[in-house]
Structure 1
Amino acid sequence: MQLGDYNDLEVAREVDFGVYLSSDDGDLLMPGKYVPAGTQVGDVLRVFVYRDSEDRLIATTLDPLVRVGQFAALSVRDVTPLGAFLDWGLEKDLFLPYRNQRRNLRPGERATVYVFLDETSDRIVASARWEGFLSHEPFPGQPGDAVQLMVAEETDLGFKVLVNGQYQGLLYHNEVFRPLRLGDTPTGYVRLVRPDGKLDISLQKIGYDEARDAVETVLKALHAAGGTLPLSDKSEPDDIYRRLGISKKVFKKALGYLYKNGQVQLAPDHTRLIPES
């Protein structure tokens, strides 16, 4: 049985307050409020297993926000002299020991953590020192690759991001054209693989692919709007992103290409599609 993860366990017996599920570590309780209607002895249920407030193994059909071996940005529910307690979607909060914190936390704020099984106590705990749990292997990709990101921390330079759940990357502030918050999971693109293994990341495709996709996006929007788009190179970045999902920098590149190609007319407050002759 995997503590802090999903397990497929058989219903061993029913009791007034729920059912007991059989496992290699002995029978464990699933409280009645989690038992699916119609469940019978012998059924196999997919459940998440963790420890309750009395350190007993317990099963639930609730889906946690994070499992053992994963990273997540979680909200702080409470802070005590021993550490912080994080909301991870279950009745018992996730413990972040004081020794695993990088700074003092306050209730209501979010923190990026790695969740693991403490070998000494056999308890599921979190660590805000998440960089120590990243892969030490070289990044297997190359510049231009699409990657899955998780926003982990804001710095003076930009945003530290987790890349494919294993590597660390940096999104510089001038590469960010929309609001980001801890835990957001946008798609990104590798701009540079540094000698120390860290990655420079962009939220848009690199080079030719970036410009080509932006041109297609603008043309599609122009056609959908009947030929006139209430955007120009003078428009606010937020307005451009809300309508097109691209940065102002890339939007201006696309406009330049379309204008030189004789496909659009540019005005201070709009862009108009020139009909094909």
Structure 2
Amino acid sequence: MEINLGKYNTLRVVKEVDFGMYLDGGIEGEILLPKRYVPQGCKPGDDLEVFIYLDQDERLVATTQKPYAQVGDFACLEVSWVNQYGAFLNWGLMKDLFVPFREQKMKMEVGKKYIVHVHLDDESFRIVASAKVDRYLSKEKADYKCGQEVEVLVWQKTDLGFKAIIDNKYGGLLYESEIFQPLHVGMKLKAYVKQVREDGKIDLALQKMGQAGVEDFASILLEHIRSNGGYTTLNDKSPAEEIYALFGVSKKVFKKAVGDLYKKRLVVLDEKGITLVR
């Protein structure tokens, strides 16, 4: 059995002691699960899913706590403290996550959050993080299709918009001119692939492409009108902020959906709002 340091492992309980449980770590020997993390009713012979990391003495230790990230992940984490060697991030465990100064793009400050990549250091084999995110993004050309839904982590503000990390692997860009909602570094949200360029760069959008996105929202808008007694005060003169606050879509998509419902003779429009056709 091989232990995956910095990741979740399913290990068998081999014995109970006053200060916790020992788990079978295969060639690594027995690994302690401290008493405060032992689930109620746990006994020798049970299999537990635990996160394996290193304690203050660099020994393997198990926990049933869920860290905010594991080895291989990108995450937005807050600095807990700084010393002469680097910064230490709160990642949800008793022992903070170390970022050496050489892995910081700028000197990290206590209380601020940064996007980092969690990995094993090649020399020390310790779990560390790096704010030099670019080097850990995949250089392979992604095999995404236009319109494909992806999970993104907003990474960095630029003159063009926001850089984002796609599916914990690729870099992409959300263009400023197409952003209709407040974004900030560290946000996780769904997005859609607009295109994968020849050079491998990926353009993203916050809504489904073309008519599919409009049709999806048109059905939502229709149901909203029905559930409000067949009427809504929103119309194409309503502020974009008000439309987004209620539906989470741009004013452009809202107007197209209204037009779609009107053409199908499902609603009538006036200056005061939209009424369902009875």
Q: C-alpha deviations, 1:4-37, integer Å up to 9, x for none?
A: 0111222232222112222121222111101112
* Runs of 4+ off more than 4 Å: none
Q: Is the 8 A contact 1:228 1:272 kept in 2?
A: yes
Q: Distance in 2 between matches of 1:43 and 1:215?
A: 51
Pick aligned residue for 1:9 from 2, 11, 20: 11
In structure 1, what is the equivalent of residue 20 of structure 2? 18
- Give the gaps of 5 or more residues in structure 2: none
In structure 2, what is the equivalent of residue 275 of structure 1? 277
Q: Is the 8 A contact 1:159 1:172 kept in 2?
A: yes
Q: Distance in 2 between matches of 1:67 and 1:192?
A: 30
The amino acid of 1:152's aligned partner reads: W
Pick aligned residue for 1:202 from 202, 205, 222: 205
Q: Distance in 1 between matches of 2:134 and 2:47?
A: 38
1:260, distance to aligned residue in structure 2 (A): 4.6
Q: Is the 8 A contact 1:221 1:244 kept in 2?
A: no
Structure 1 pair 37–261 and aligned structure 2 pair: CA distance change class (3 A): closer
Q: Distance in 1 between matches of 2:85 and 2:270?
A: 61
1:83 and 2:83 are equivalent in the alignment: no
Q: TM-score, normalised by structure 1?
A: 0.93
In structure 2, what is the equivalent of residue 104 of structure 1? 107
SS for the counterpart of 1:186 is strand
1:71 and 2:74 are equivalent in the alignment: yes
Q: Is the 8 A contact 1:262 1:274 kept in 2?
A: no
The amino acid of 2:231's aligned partner reads: T
Q: Distance in 2 between matches of 1:192 and 1:114?
A: 25
Structure 1 pair 223–84 and aligned structure 2 pair: CA distance change class (3 A): same
1:254, distance to aligned residue in structure 2 (A): 1.8
Q: Distance in 2 between matches of 1:244 and 1:16?
A: 55
1:267, distance to aligned residue in structure 2 (A): 4.1
In structure 2, what is the equivalent of residue 181 of structure 1? 184
Q: Distance in 2 between matches of 1:143 and 1:113?
A: 28
Identity, % of aligned pairs?
Answer: 45
Q: TM-score, normalised by structure 2?
A: 0.92
Q: C-alpha deviations, 1:25-57, integer Å up to 9, x for none?
A: 122211110111222223222111101122221
Q: Distance in 2 between matches of 1:63 and 1:122?
A: 21
Q: Distance in 2 between matches of 1:148 and 1:115?
A: 18
Q: Distance in 2 between matches of 1:254 and 1:38?
A: 55
Pick aligned residue for 2:133 from 130, 134, 152: 130
Pick aligned residue for 1:51 from 54, 58, 68: 54
Name whichever of 172-181 and 117-126 sits farther off: 172-181
1:188-227 mapped onto 2 (5 Å cutoff): 188-227=191-230
Q: Is the 8 A contact 2:234 2:274 kept in 1?
A: no
Q: Distance in 2 between matches of 1:49 and 1:257?
A: 54
Q: Distance in 2 between matches of 1:237 and 1:201?
A: 21
Q: Distance in 2 between matches of 1:122 and 1:272?
A: 62
1:271, distance to aligned residue in structure 2 (A): 2.2
Q: C-alpha deviations, 1:93-137, integer Å up to 9, x for none?
A: 111111111112222221111111112111000011112112222
1:17-36 mapped onto 2 (5 Å cutoff): 17-23=19-25, 24-36=27-39
Q: Is the 8 A contact 1:264 1:271 kept in 2?
A: no
